[in-house]
Structure 1
Amino acid sequence: MDPVTSGILVVVVLLVLMAIGTPIAFALGAVSLGALVLDRGVRELIYFGETFFASVASFGFVAIPMFILMGAAVASSPTGRDLYRSLDLWMGKLPGGLAISNIAACSIFAALSGSSPATSAAIGKLGIPEMRKRGYPDGVAAGCIAAGGTLGILIPPSVTMIVYGISTETSIGRLFIAGAVPGLMLAGLFMVWTLIACKLAGGYNTPNPVAEAAAQIKENVEGNLKALVRVIPFLLVVMGILFALYGGVATPSEAAGVGAFLCLGLAVIVYRMWQVKPLGNIMRDALRESVMIMLIIATAEIFAFALSSLFITQTVAQAIADLEVNRWVLMGVINLFLLVAGFFLPPVAVIVMAAPILLPIIVAANFDPYWFAVILTINLEIGLITPPVGLNLFIIKGIAPDIALRDILMGSLPYALCMILGIVLLCFFPQIALWLPNLIMGVGT
């Protein structure tokens, strides 16, 4: 069977498995195993387990469960509630200020947790009911949280950036810095659209439509300021981690381990989470997400190996490389591929499978690999708020089951257009991503 036919068959089988509800990791593993057995025979089963475990044996992957544990400690504590309260105090008087404060809270919480689902869940549980109570349309309330949650995979520290760095053998510290300014740029674009959407929907110039709102907020100022004080230690931990990475003080795995220990300690001390149950919940959530991501990484590596064994990867890469087109047309084709892949696969799986293939093509076309990491990540962010997978959409649906999925989707789509605008701006002005890493770590790759 020729590589093109094999590739089409593999993709169709994978999509069918996902369509019937098979978990991503099991779908990737089953298709990979079937393809390898058909290509090399039953003897390939002997090496399947060895290949599976070898794919996640890199020491660099230790950073992933540690950062996830750090995020779980933050997500399981009332940090999101305190962020929400303190930001609402400062931004509540803007038109649409409550929605804007939710996006700001998502941006900060993304830096604390490094996880898009955790960000959407933590801020959404508080923000969506409050926005709806104050008269915000369902689409605006759900859309701003779903979009704000996507910032978790771009604003450092980011688990997906760690996976990209390990997969492409690029500096994780430089990747983190490269994602910082674009992440803030996207947050700014989200806020601008939210302001416009709220103006179009009626303004929402006051934090609460009821007459007692102003007096109520004044009474709560002291409490909100105390909430902000409780969040500051967590922000200092994140700043310390980033300083350790950028200054060469520690490796990502070491920084992640220290960060996880400190955030867990802060959750216990600041929020008095002494009981066994909340600590057990933190460990359970961290273990669940870590196992899920590591399973996806392992099976995605095997899937990539199977595609390579069938010469599918080489055929696709050669077809892209042979395109006699302008390098920006080539970049457009790659962006389209990433966008479509993000519709069906989680970010980690796309990065593990696609980044090692695309990187040589990107470098040959004279694009910066760190700039490309940001472009790739934003494409995958779009996939988090677009069907058929759209993980953040389903998280929001779980938080607010009485909001129609159509309203959540329609409220999120303008933010997807904001991300596309962000990609365009990065193409015209690549220094948005490259200026800060070049300033801190020097020019180079």
Structure 2
Amino acid sequence: MSETIIGVWGIVVLFVCLALRIPVGMSLLLVGFGGIWVIDDSRSAIATLSSETYSSVSSYSMSVIPLFVLMGNIAGAAGYSQRLYDAAHNWIGHLRGGLSSATIVGCAAFAAVSGSSVATAVTIGKVALPEMKRFGYADGLATGSVAAGGTLGILIPPSTGFVLYAILTEESIGKLFIAGIIPGLLLTLLFIAVIFITTSLKPSEGPAGPRTNWKQKAGASFNAMPLVSVILVSIGGIYLGVFTPVEAAGVGSFMVAVMALVSRSITWKDFGPILGETVSMTAMLYLIVIGAHVFGPFLALTHIPETLGTALEGTGLGPYSTLFLILIGYIILGMFFDGLAMLVVTLPIVFPIITTLGFDPIWFGVIAVIVIEMGLITPPVGLNVFVVKAVAEKVPMATIFRGVFPFWIAMAVCLLLLVAIPQLALFLPAQMAQ
């Protein structure tokens, strides 16, 4: 049996493992280790496992993961998500569909400290869904805005998706974070446009909420300032070159912890569950990285990336036609597999093709993360949809999927704009480099 055939079987086994809900990291680890053993021998497999495990986990850049996860967990436990939503609610809640728009804005703001789509959807959903239900919002618009808004968690920096992409491709985490800012804001505006169009066509979908006076607006904005200041310091520090991403994560975590303790939003006793959740999430992400670093050498031995690259070159398709095929493949895979799993499985194959075609790797990182976002709300898997379903138990799954469809279209529009105008992602990193 040739090495390429072994590689194909390995990928099939990997997808079977993922379909059986075996953890992503463990699936990658098992297939990579087993594949190297079959192609080479047990000594090579054991040597790869030990060396890649140590080198990946001991990498300095990996420390950004637990620090940003900790920052998001403290912010969520301290109730800062409620403050962000209240501020947005006070400013735009009186508009038609205003509560849904406030949900999107709240998700975008909380995404800037959480780095997780699931955490963003759960945290903001618990706050926003009861409010939208109280004011008579349609279930589809209410749940759809939470599920779609939650996806901003892996696009607006800090982002676990960008961190994994950077580690797997050896690109700059800081540049990827900064590259996600304009696309993240663009997608936020497109989501709000979807809500405006929906409520203009069907006003009953999102009735206007009560008006607030300037004093209430100012008070809500003041309450949200602690978390906004953390966002400005951490992300602004990276952009200005004051902090590395790891240092920014440390500073941000420290600031959130001090503010939460001083304001008595949390107590020292609350740190036990917070740290436990942080360790659990970090371990999961570390296992994915370890698995990806073992799976990568296995793919290299199978020569599948080179074979695919040669095959695509032989088709005579241009760079953008090839990119289109890759994106369609990502969207199809996103219908069945978790986004991070899809990223770590496909990057060893796709990334060499992308760089050969001459596309900027930072730009493609943003593109890849947006496609992953689309998978988070695409049936039948749609992880964020299941998360929202857990919060809104009485809303049928079909209603939530119908609700997120217009937002999926907005993501596709954002994707097309980024392909047509790469500077939307590359402008800020270029300024940062200067």
Q: 1:113-152: per-residue Cα shift (whole Å, max 9, x none)?
A: 1211111011001111221222212111111111111111
Give the 5 Å matches for 1:171-186. 171-186=172-187
Change (3 A) 1:140 1:206: closer
Q: 1:246-286: per-residue Cα shift (whole Å, max 9, x none)?
A: 2222221122112111112122223431241x221211221
1:321 Cα deviation from its structure 2 partner: 4.0
| 1:132 matched to 2:133 | yes
Change (3 A) 1:387 1:205: closer
Q: Which amino acid aligns with 1:386?
A: T
Change (3 A) 1:394 1:375: same
Q: Which amino acid aligns with 1:28?
A: L
Q: TM-score, normalised by structure 1?
A: 0.90
Partner SS for 1:438 = helix
Correspondence for 2:76: 75
Q: 1:329-380: per-residue Cα shift (whole Å, max 9, x none)?
A: 0111121233234344444444444445434433332322222111111111
Correspondence for 1:232: 225
Q: 1:207-231: per-residue Cα shift (whole Å, max 9, x none)?
A: 45xxxx56xx66xx75664343232
1:280 is aligned, of 269, 272, 276, to: 272
Residues 179 and 429 in structure 2, CA contact (< 8 A), matched pair in contact too: yes
Correspondence for 1:10: 10
2:421 is aligned, of 422, 429, 433, to: 429
The two structures, once aligned, show a CA RMSD in angstroms of: 2.3
Residues 34 and 45 in structure 2, CA contact (< 8 A), matched pair in contact too: no
Residues 90 and 220 in structure 2, CA contact (< 8 A), matched pair in contact too: no
Q: 1:72-108: per-residue Cα shift (whole Å, max 9, x none)?
A: 1112221111111121111112111111110011111
Gapped runs of 5+ residues in structure 1? none
1:44 Cα deviation from its structure 2 partner: 4.4
Q: Which amino acid aligns with 2:223?
A: R
Correspondence for 2:152: 151
1:199 Cα deviation from its structure 2 partner: 2.9
User: Which whole-Å CA distance do the structure 1 matches of 2:293 and 2:336 have between them?
Assistant: 17
Residues 230 and 270 in structure 1, CA contact (< 8 A), matched pair in contact too: no
Change (3 A) 1:149 1:205: closer
Partner SS for 2:200 = helix
Partner SS for 1:55 = helix
Residues 140 and 400 in structure 2, CA contact (< 8 A), matched pair in contact too: yes
2:281 is aligned, of 263, 286, 289, to: 289
Question: May I ask how many residue pairs the two structures share in their alignment?
Answer: 433
Correspondence for 1:29: 29
Give the 5 Å matches for 1:13-412. 13-44=13-44, 46-47=46-47, 48-203=49-204, 206-208=207-209, 225-276=218-269, 278-412=270-404
Q: Which amino acid aligns with 1:369?
A: P
User: Which whole-Å CA distance do the structure 1 matches of 2:430 and 2:232 have between them?
Assistant: 19
User: Which whole-Å CA distance do the structure 2 matches of 1:28 and 1:366 have between them?
Assistant: 29
Over the matched positions of the two proteins, sequence identity in percent amounts to 36
Change (3 A) 1:134 1:20: same
Structure 1 window deviating more from structure 2 (238-247 vs 433-442): it is: 433-442
Change (3 A) 1:202 1:244: closer
User: Which whole-Å CA distance do the structure 2 matches of 1:4 and 1:19 have between them?
Assistant: 23
Residues 72 and 113 in structure 2, CA contact (< 8 A), matched pair in contact too: yes
Q: TM-score, normalised by structure 2?
A: 0.92
Residues 96 and 203 in structure 1, CA contact (< 8 A), matched pair in contact too: no
Residues 92 and 206 in structure 1, CA contact (< 8 A), matched pair in contact too: no
